[in-house]
């Protein structure tokens, strides 16, 4: 599945370069219209990142998230500053299908495991953001990529998979927002190591060739952000490419 993404700040569609709020570009002033255009193009799901909520949960753009959900009719997954059970309940109560949880899965996995058991694996997406060192170790970053943890992706994920974790969004931080091409071998290896997980690739997609390569690597879904906003290709073309590509 291809999942178009919108990053939201103050009711606008933006992109950050490698998660840096100081390197912010505004693309649209009406996220609802953009989301509706993706729905008309054939999107089956949409990914929303509430960057205001990520910085301050009290500033969560809940009305906007609800409006996008209602006016597109699309199932939505969203995250940004999810820190409490109340946050999860609030988002699911607004009509969101999946809540995306990042930093807390690394810093407090027991709490997130409890939520997954309460709300079900289909309601939770783990967002694991990796920095890959010169030895190929995949270290997880937290707090909007501002902090480097001492936890590897594999060590973090194993207890979640043991409890039935279904959806994981993995971002190669070095490629996010760069249009430098997707790290295809990363997702190939992750699918081989954790075949029960539905992997969502994120970061660097710049061309239809990237999509073909990810499909061949048996990646389950791809998040499309900057490539669509900068018109590297249309969502219609991307969906056609994905449908025609052959998985491994």
Question: Which CATH number covers residue 150?
Answer: 3.20.20.70
pLDDT at 138: 81
Task: Return the DSSP state at 145.
Answer: T
Going by C-alpha positions, the residue among 49, 43, 55 that lies closest to residue 77 is: 49
149 or 204: which leads in pLDDT: 204
Q: Which strand (E) or helix (H) includes residue 152?
A: strand 147-152
From 50, 87, 129, 210, the catalytic residue: 129
Residue 176 has pLDDT above 80, yes or no: no
Supply the range of the domain harboring residue 161: 2-244
Is 7 among the residues known to form the active site? yes
CA distance 22 to 177: 14
What is the total count of domains within the chain? 1
Give the pLDDT confidence of 185-219 residue by residue, as tens digits. 999 999 999 999 999 999 889 999 999 999 999 99
Residue 178 has pLDDT above 80, yes or no: no
Tokens encoding 26: 């505004």
Mean pLDDT of the chain: 90
- 143: confidence class by pLDDT, cuts 50, 70, 90: low
CA distance 107 to 103: 6
Is 129 among the residues known to form the active site? yes
pLDDT at 203: 84
Average pLDDT over residues 51-55: 88
What pTM, to 2 d.p., does this model score? 0.91
Per the CB < 8 A criterion, the answer to whether 32 and 13 are in contact is: no
* Sequence-separated (6 or more) residues with CB below 8 Å from residue 114: none
From 7, 50, 172, 210, the catalytic residue: 7
């Amino acid at each position: 599945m291809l999942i178009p993404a919108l990053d939201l700040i103050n009711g606008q569609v933006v992109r950050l370069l490698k998660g840096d709020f100081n390197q912010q570009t505004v693309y649209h002033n009406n996220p609802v219209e953009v989301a509706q255009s993706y729905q008309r193009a054939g999107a089956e799901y949409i990914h929303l990142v509430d960057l205001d909520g990520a910085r301050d949960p009290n500033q969560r753009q809940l009305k906007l998230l609800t409006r996008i959900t209602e006016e597109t009719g699309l199932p939505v997954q969203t995250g940004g500053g999810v820190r409490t059970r109340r946050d999860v309940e609030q988002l699911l109560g607004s009509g969101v299908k999946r809540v995306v949880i990042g930093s807390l899965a690394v810093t407090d996995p027991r709490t997130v495991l409890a939520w997954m058991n309460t709300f079900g694996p289909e309601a939770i997406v783990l967002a694991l953001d990796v920095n890959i060192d010169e030895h190929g170790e995949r270290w997880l970053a937290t707090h909007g990529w501002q902090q480097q943890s001492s936890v590897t992706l594999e060590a973090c994920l194993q207890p979640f998979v043991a409890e039935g974790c279904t959806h994981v969004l993995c971002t190669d931080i070095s490629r996010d927002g760069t249009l430098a091409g997707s790290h295809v071998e990363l997702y190939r290896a992750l699918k081989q190591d954790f075949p029960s997980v539905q992997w969502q690739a994120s970061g660097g997609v710049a061309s239809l060739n990237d999509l073909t390569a990810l499909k061949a690597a048996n990646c389950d879904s791809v998040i499309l952000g900057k490539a669509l906003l900068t018109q590297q290709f249309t969502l219609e073309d991307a969906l056609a490419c994905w449908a025609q590509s052959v998985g491994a």
